[in-house]
A and B are shown apart, each in its own frame.
Chain A
Amino acid sequence: MNQEEKLPVIDCDVHNGFRSNHDLFPYLDDTWKSQALLRGGGLPLGGGLPYASPIGNKRKDANPPSGLPVGADPDYMIKQLIEPFNVEYAILCSDSMIAVSSFADADYAAAMCRAYNDYLIAEWLPKSPTFKGLLCIATQDPIQAAREIDRIAPHPDIVGVSIIGGSRMPYGQRFFHPIYEACQRNDMPLVIHPGAEGSGIFNPPTAVGYVSNYLEWHSCLPQTYMAHLVSFVCEGVFEKYPDFKVVLSEGGVTWLPPLLWRLDKNFKALRASTPWLKRLPSEYVRDHCFMTTQPIEEPDNPKHLKMMFEMFDAENMLLFSSDYPHWDFDDPTKILKQFPLETKRKILSENARALFKL
């Protein structure tokens, strides 16, 4: 093993799966248990995404020998991801859970999140000292969401708050501010992860409506992030909550520099629309936002990726993520080959260590 392969990894996007669709039942009170049963007898976790990957969304070599579903066996996760890739911490994010924000019923969604958070703490986090968790909130009712952050965030193995990219409105708007206030109060970064854009009560997944298939849907996900990011900055979220940090997970990275050029340019002329901004928009992004690496863009000429990284503060803003056990998993020993050791060290672990206080 050379020195590079030994670099420690903090994997900022690992998906813990459910063993069965009854996993949350012990954590739901009777009102919501009966609701969950009525809605299909299990864990109805999304508002029905109208897209499906033709190759499935899981890696085909990740079935645990225990017979449990992919991602649902912590021991196998340790064997297949944690040990071979030198993962110091795996940050667990339930991509199926965050889709609850696409339900119309805010109270149902909030109840499911409470159950999930208790389940995460009881059944996953004690399994390995490498496991750290993102608590999950539903965005329909930001006041309840803030209460849930206050309830769960003090747990020592909870390191952030997760929500989905799909939404009824841009995330910078004041409707959501109680969530950000609670994140700041509890010193928790907000991690936005894609997954159900366009389902349930969410707006369509692109600005022009519903694209036809998963290939288009997945490729257009950065659109959603662009709109949220511009909204966060322009609505003054980072002025109002100066310690608040946002992670844009799994949405690509190379779209960022040109968006910020455009935003900065416009701001110079249109500053009076957002007089509360005291610095250029790009400076807020640099200080408050992070992006996870996977799925990293793969230009034919690898040098072009390096050039893109030079166009923003990539070395300090990127957090490595593998997306295990999903189909677009990135291998930490493969994706950053063209970068110097120090850059790699920061992206693979040091940036996440500082952000999540690990």
Chain B
Amino acid sequence: MALYPVALEGEIPVGTNIVVEIEGRSIGVYNVNGEYFAIHNYCPHQGAEICKGPVCGTNMESEVYQFIYGRDQEIVRCPWHGWEFDLKTGKSLFSDKVRVRSYPMQIQDGQLFITVGK
């Protein structure tokens, strides 16, 4: 397991992200309403660079003919075929088994770190 410094707190304003290269892997770091999450910049479907996709909300599970918009800024949508992923867990919204790889983050003295490896 290794910790990699990626940015200072404040360098990634709420609702934005950066993409960093760590151990040859492209990783996106997102500020979701003040919390930080890191995902592999590689869609599990056909491998698109997922961090080029929009960060958005979505229609949440609901009753028939009901539309409830929510989770604003918590979803990243793949730029190719539109699969939605939960930035907080990496899970796709249609199956728990399909997920973009996510990496734990830590903050120490205002410095953001990504944990890569076991």
Contacts and interface: CB of A to CB of B under 8 A. Distances in A.
B11 to A, nearest CB: 24
A60 B81 contact: no
Contact of B53 (A60, A328, A335): A60
A59 B46 contact: no
Contacts of A331: 46-47
A55 B77 contact: yes
Given A60-B52, A60-B53, A61-B52, A327 B47 contact: no
Contacts of B53: 60-61
A335 B45 CA distance: 10
Interface in B20-57: 46-49, 52-54
A327 B46 contact: no
Nearest to A62: B79
A61 B49 contact: yes
Interface centre among B46, B47, B48, B80 (most CB of A within 10 A): B80
B82 A327 contact: yes
Interface string A300-335: 000000000000000000000000000111110011
Contacts of A62: 79
Contacts of A59: 79-80
A338 B97 CA distance: 21
B116 to A, nearest CB: 25
B80 A329 contact: yes
Contacts of A328: 80-81
A327 B80 CA distance: 5
Interface string A319-356: 00000000111110011000000000000000000000
Contact of A60 (B46, B47, B77): B77
Q: Is the interface of B mostly helix, strand, loop or mixed?
A: loop
Contacts of B52: 60-61
A330 B46 contact: yes
B118 to A, nearest CB: 28
A329 B81 contact: yes
Taking each of B48, B77, B81, which has the highest tally of chain A beta carbons within 10 Å of its own beta carbon? B81
Contact of A61 (B46, B47, B80): B80
B84 to A, nearest CB: 9
Contacts of A327: 80-82
A328 B80 CA distance: 6
Contacts of A55: 77, 82
Nearest to B52: A61
A339 to B, nearest CB: 16
Contacts of B46: 330-331, 334-335
Which 5 pairs from chain A and chain B are nearest by CB?
A60-B79, A61-B52, A61-B79, A55-B82, A334-B46
Given A328-B80, A330-B46, A334-B47, 11 more contacts: A55-B77, A60-B53, A60-B79, A60-B80, A61-B48, A61-B49, A328-B81, A329-B80, A331-B47, A334-B46, A335-B46
Interface of A: 55, 59-62, 327-331, 334-335
